[in-house]
Structure 1
């Protein structure tokens, strides 16, 4: 039996309507996520409310609660996104195909710029500092980031390009600790306006062969010339 044309094609607009609804939901979640990131970055987790996030996102509080059950789930979502952004930076550095030690310097410099310029990165860094105040289990800080730097240092040592007697894993831990400590001080003292300079200081002190990264860093060459 042949179905009437309208009935036979009825699923087409229905499917499209469902697709549009899903797209709107994704946009709404992203809007809320970025509003929460701005709020957490500027005010800190303890003082931010769901109402603040609703105001910043231009949505109702009910809409915010529809997508995120509570402030803890928002903090977790922002922190998870932060740890998605870090691999994106490292992937961009890997595509440059520069030597291992230069890759380490480039990774830190690009991370520093992101921490200075991107609200989501600022929020992720601040939430890690405030993690004891957040009643939800957040990802452990900088594990993959440190492991990647350790692997680059190991490659540099194998190639005879690492001027350091410290084991690569230890050197990576020290460097990451120094870098994220420096970015914290830069934030507190100067709102991260001097984060690139502080990152260079860390590199000079911890990894002597990066004494003058202008010769090995595409990021510095590009932004010094600009």
Structure 2
């Protein structure tokens, strides 16, 4: 694969989890919302972003569902590999290695996105790309925290935390492939997002305001909310 002068952008979806908190009988990325598996909605949104050269789905080595549930995905801009690991960080690291083997450069950008954030909109991804391309580090979509925060001990409030400088991290999170690979290699594999690894490497990721609708479907009630949002969009109401 020949490289243009400017770095390319790739999307990477770690899709090897089992979704144990969702209460579903199968990995949550495959639970149907609005008539399609959750991951299909996510991939459709990313495919609508022209600056993403390809989207790579990183599956568990024993995943036998994806091709049947998301038919027709693979092609010039749709890639699949089975290099998922025991943790999210391991899965992302496996995906980064796959991108490099497929011809991506260490200087290219990768947008790591949770498959469970199936309500993501192409325009939010474009906003992140616009903000990060000229930045030395990269960044992530995030939302300023609106709720009052409580720290708990034993099921009771231990203290109220200031929220003035608090942001809730979302995805995509966009960094150079090489920088993220090195950061994940040096970090504990228990880091829960890519920005955490970048921070541990001494960098300060850019915060790009996202949208409250970019929720991560995690708990059983989230599926109902996602259904409602998708239904409203189909009617042009959201």
More relative contact order, 1 or 2 (CA 8 Å, 6+ apart): 2
Query: Fold-level match, TM-score > 0.5?
Result: no
Q: Which has the larger radius of gyration?
A: 1
TM-score, L = length of structure 1: 0.28
TM-score, L = length of structure 2: 0.27
When you count helix as a share of all residues, which structure comes out higher?
A: 1
